[in-house]
Protein backbone atom coordinates (compact mmCIF):
# COMPACT_ATOMS: atom_id res chain seq x y z
CA UNK A 1 0.00 0.00 0.00
CA UNK A 2 1.30 3.45 -0.94
CA UNK A 3 0.12 6.69 0.64
CA UNK A 4 0.91 10.04 -0.94
CA UNK A 5 1.39 12.95 1.45
CA UNK A 6 1.71 16.56 0.29
CA UNK A 7 3.00 19.00 2.91
CA UNK A 8 3.65 22.72 2.63
CA UNK A 9 4.48 25.54 5.00
CA UNK A 10 3.63 29.17 5.46
CA UNK A 11 0.29 29.68 3.73
CA UNK A 12 -0.04 33.47 3.82
CA UNK A 13 -3.61 34.25 2.82
CA UNK A 14 -3.79 37.93 3.67
CA UNK A 15 -4.67 39.23 0.19
CA UNK A 16 -7.98 39.21 -1.69
CA UNK A 17 -8.57 36.24 -4.02
CA UNK A 18 -6.26 33.85 -2.16
CA UNK A 19 -7.71 31.00 -4.21
CA UNK A 20 -5.62 32.18 -7.16
CA UNK A 21 -2.45 31.43 -5.17
CA UNK A 22 -3.25 27.72 -5.37
CA UNK A 23 -3.87 27.54 -9.12
CA UNK A 24 -0.42 26.06 -9.89
CA UNK A 25 -0.59 23.42 -7.13
CA UNK A 26 -4.25 22.54 -6.47
CA UNK A 27 -4.16 19.52 -8.77
CA UNK A 28 -1.20 18.04 -6.87
CA UNK A 29 -2.77 18.79 -3.47
CA UNK A 30 -6.08 17.18 -4.43
CA UNK A 31 -4.34 14.10 -5.86
CA UNK A 32 -2.49 13.36 -2.61
CA UNK A 33 -4.09 11.04 -0.07
CA UNK A 34 -3.37 13.62 2.63
CA UNK A 35 -2.45 17.28 2.10
CA UNK A 36 -1.09 19.24 5.06
CA UNK A 37 -0.51 22.99 5.26
CA UNK A 38 0.54 25.62 7.77
CA UNK A 39 -1.54 28.81 8.12
CA UNK A 40 0.96 31.58 8.80
CA UNK A 41 -1.19 34.60 9.67
CA UNK A 42 -4.20 34.84 12.02
CA UNK A 43 -7.66 35.20 10.47
CA UNK A 44 -10.37 37.12 12.30
CA UNK A 45 -13.22 39.52 11.67
CA UNK A 46 -11.72 41.82 14.28
CA UNK A 47 -8.89 44.11 13.27
CA UNK A 48 -7.17 43.97 16.67
CA UNK A 49 -3.54 42.98 16.29
CA UNK A 50 -2.06 40.76 19.00
CA UNK A 51 1.71 40.37 19.03
CA UNK A 52 4.75 41.17 21.11
CA UNK A 53 7.51 41.05 18.52
CA UNK A 54 6.29 40.38 14.97
CA UNK A 55 3.24 42.30 13.73
CA UNK A 56 0.46 39.91 12.80
CA UNK A 57 -2.63 41.82 11.68
CA UNK A 58 -5.57 39.47 11.17
CA UNK A 59 -6.60 38.54 7.66
CA UNK A 60 -10.15 38.01 6.39
CA UNK A 61 -11.43 34.54 7.46
CA UNK A 62 -13.29 34.22 4.15
CA UNK A 63 -9.91 33.70 2.47
CA UNK A 64 -9.56 30.38 4.36
CA UNK A 65 -12.13 28.75 2.09
CA UNK A 66 -9.40 28.70 -0.55
CA UNK A 67 -7.46 26.22 1.61
CA UNK A 68 -10.24 23.63 1.54
CA UNK A 69 -10.97 24.27 -2.12
CA UNK A 70 -7.30 23.71 -2.96
CA UNK A 71 -7.49 20.23 -1.44
CA UNK A 72 -5.91 20.55 2.00
CA UNK A 73 -7.07 17.95 4.52
CA UNK A 74 -5.17 19.20 7.59
CA UNK A 75 -3.83 22.64 8.49
CA UNK A 76 -1.94 23.90 11.50
CA UNK A 77 -1.63 27.43 12.82
CA UNK A 78 1.49 29.41 13.61
CA UNK A 79 1.70 29.82 17.38
CA UNK A 80 4.68 32.19 17.36
CA UNK A 81 2.41 35.19 16.78
CA UNK A 82 -0.51 34.00 18.94
CA UNK A 83 -1.27 34.73 22.57
Sign (positive/negative) of CA torsion 12, 16, 36, 26?
Answer: negative
pLDDT by residue (tens digit) across 5-35? Answer: 999 988 989 888 999 999 999 999 999 999 9
pLDDT by residue (tens digit) across 67-76? Answer: 999 999 999 9
Is the pTM for the entire model greater than 0.95? no
Q: Are 8 and 39 in contact (CB under 8 A)?
A: no
CB atoms within 10 A of CB 1: 2
Measured between alpha carbons, how far is 71 from 61 in angstroms, rounded to an integer?
17
- What is the C-alpha R_g of the chain? 14
Three-class SS state of 45? coil
Q: Give the length of the chain.
A: 83
Amino acid sequence: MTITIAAVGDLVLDEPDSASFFSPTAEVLRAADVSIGHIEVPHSYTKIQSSTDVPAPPADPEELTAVAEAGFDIVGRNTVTLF
